[in-house]
Amino acid sequence: MAAPAFSNTIVSSTFPASHSSLPKFSSLSFPSSRSPPPPTQFRNARATRRFTTFCSSDVLNGPKEDTPIELRYPAFPTSLDINKIRDILPHRFPFLLVDRVIEYNPGVSAVAIKNVTINDNFFPGHFPERPIMPGVLMVEAMAQVGGLVMLQPEVGGSQENFFFAGIDKVRFRKPVIAGDTLVMRMTLIKLQKRFGIAKMEGKAYVGGEVVCEGEFLMATGSGSE
């Protein structure tokens, strides 16, 4: 296939002297069937290139205002503070693993948080060089949230204890490390009041991603654990 024919017209020779600020093209030529574009078209093209250079999808999708990072994230709400949690649960240091309840539907569900800190007593041994929250303690923390669902203050929750009757389908998806906030949701699936047996579904999250999940079977009873 033959190459298209081009004329020998040179662009720089067709511009008036008043357009000396435009870049000089010493060898650019155009097909003979088309006339050279006006100088204003080059100006618009240059302006468009400048705009494209400084714009990106990150800028377009970014925040509308430059808010400091420490002001961007609101605090978790408080449905039950640590004092009310201690009124319901019998656990104490070093085994109370719930810091705040952020959503509470007694007898139905609860969402609570555990702030994982390097000062937690299990980190010196698990592990000294890589502090990871033990999976069994994640399960224990979730069970305590389940206890908050079952041991309601209006029925004298602090008068009773609850025990593991079984755990099933427990999976650990990601490690939880010092500095994470563990967000745990426990939902009551089935309750047998006659026997004091409750089946619950639990999921724990860090940053919106599931790190642990499973099914819990728990029993309530009087007396000390």
Q: Confirm if 146 and 198 have CB atoms less than 8 A apart.
A: yes
> 107 in helix, strand or coil?
coil
Cα-Cα-Cα-Cα dihedral sign, residues 175, 176, 180, 184: positive
Active site residue 126: yes
For 140, counting Cβ atoms within 10 Å of its Cβ (0-12 exposed, 13-18 middle, 19+ buried), the class is middle
Query: How crowded is residue 24: how many other Cβ atoms within 10 Å of its Cβ?
Result: 9
Q: What is the CA radius of gyration of the chain?
A: 33
Taking the C-alpha atoms of residue 12 and residue 28, their distance in angstroms, rounded to an integer, is 8
Taking the C-alpha atoms of residue 134 and residue 114, their distance in angstroms, rounded to an integer, is 13
DSSP of 195-222: TTEEEEEEEEEETTEEEEEEEEEEEEEE
Check 126, 174, 199, 203 and give the catalytic one: 126
Q: Measuring CA to CA, how many Å separate 215 from each of 89, 132, 139, 199?
A: 20, 23, 10, 7
Amino acid identity, position 185: R
Active site residues: 126
